[in-house]
Structure 1
């Protein structure tokens, strides 16, 4: 990287006005420095970590306000669990969970992402106020590419081997780093050529990968973050932390999540997707101070 990670700039472009966006010839551009925090808002009854806690509208909005106040740069709202072994949710049920939350959060000054792999759900979510589509299937569905392109929505292209119900049965790669990075770059170029204005890349930790695969991808992050697209890393409370740290309860894995996400930031990740927003914002600010050359150290600022 040409500069230390705390000074490195990242950008996303949208085809419509977004919080913090500046109008450019290519659309509305959001620029930030260092590693930003995407807060997780699961409005499902069966999330692996906090299932049911934020399924009601008031609880969801209260949690979103708390994350925003803590420094979340973006809030990722999901209406279907994608944990290993999860069963699919009908599109109309997913929309019913997402729409009221997104409508209530729209205009609140924070970027909103919708976590879905269904084009019809993405369309409804964008109409309700979402700005970015976070698709765990990596926009493999041409319909999802079309929805994002037509709306002018940015997208997160994630790598997943298989699908949620079966992805952890027997993950196998010849060279996990080469295969995942090649897929992400190829897919990003394809969806950009199809009219999606901007993309994040996500190596998909835990999505069809063993602990060893996940560790290999985390160690190889500089190869991915050194490219032209910003990189999102989401390790929060995942099973690999449970196994590495001997922590069987998902909600108790925030210390391990912080360790992996600080590593990702130091390797150039543009954003981390987390449950514990306040803790991550604090840790990233301290890490940024440590990693900023002394002559450049000044007042610490959150990503703008």
Structure 2
């Protein structure tokens, strides 16, 4: 089993060097070793052939049942990195990645069923994206496409996911209503519920509260801390306080590179890199 350390200085680390380092790291929590749910190894990403790399030799672990936050200034590659983890960039044929990403020790790049990958690695976007259909049909849509459950099982899964997202009591009497009639915060919780209904292993969240008011944001943050008991979560955020509140590990990105990775406590209170300190202090960004 792989274990974790509080601090990774990522200067000059790539490929097998980063793999070796990750495999020998030791957590502050000596009572429990951390399992790697995903591994990013020497990953570079290009939006067009011949273009400069948007991600440059990024290597980091994603730990099971932990929340990992990606922080950094606008345009640093946070969202790009997030979108490589379920290959959503495949929707655009000219974009491509180099390096390796492992999910449970298996590559996501070759001989991979892309639909199966995205059922294992779900995504919640910056703005709520309810489908133009009823609340119930929003929840059942992906389950029907999977084709693994009968109608009764789908109903049970829908109810369970809505309860887990703390939305059931608010919508149980109007499941046939248009999902777009919900408030912004409710719509985002619906999107999270729709994702967890598929029972993914990993949930990717791209600034999921940036369009929400403080009350709705607090509800989503509480939900995220609860969901990590069952799911592995990777979240992109520009909100430093949010990263401190909800994440266990943090990666600081700058100009397409992973500048520093470690426990959230270490990154925010004892960063190893001057640039990390300047960023979290608000000197730039």
**TM-score category, normalised to shorter length:** 0.3 to 0.5
- Larger relative CO (CA 8 A, sep 6+): 1 or 2? 2
Greater percentage in strand: 2
- Structure-1-length-normalised TM-score: 0.36
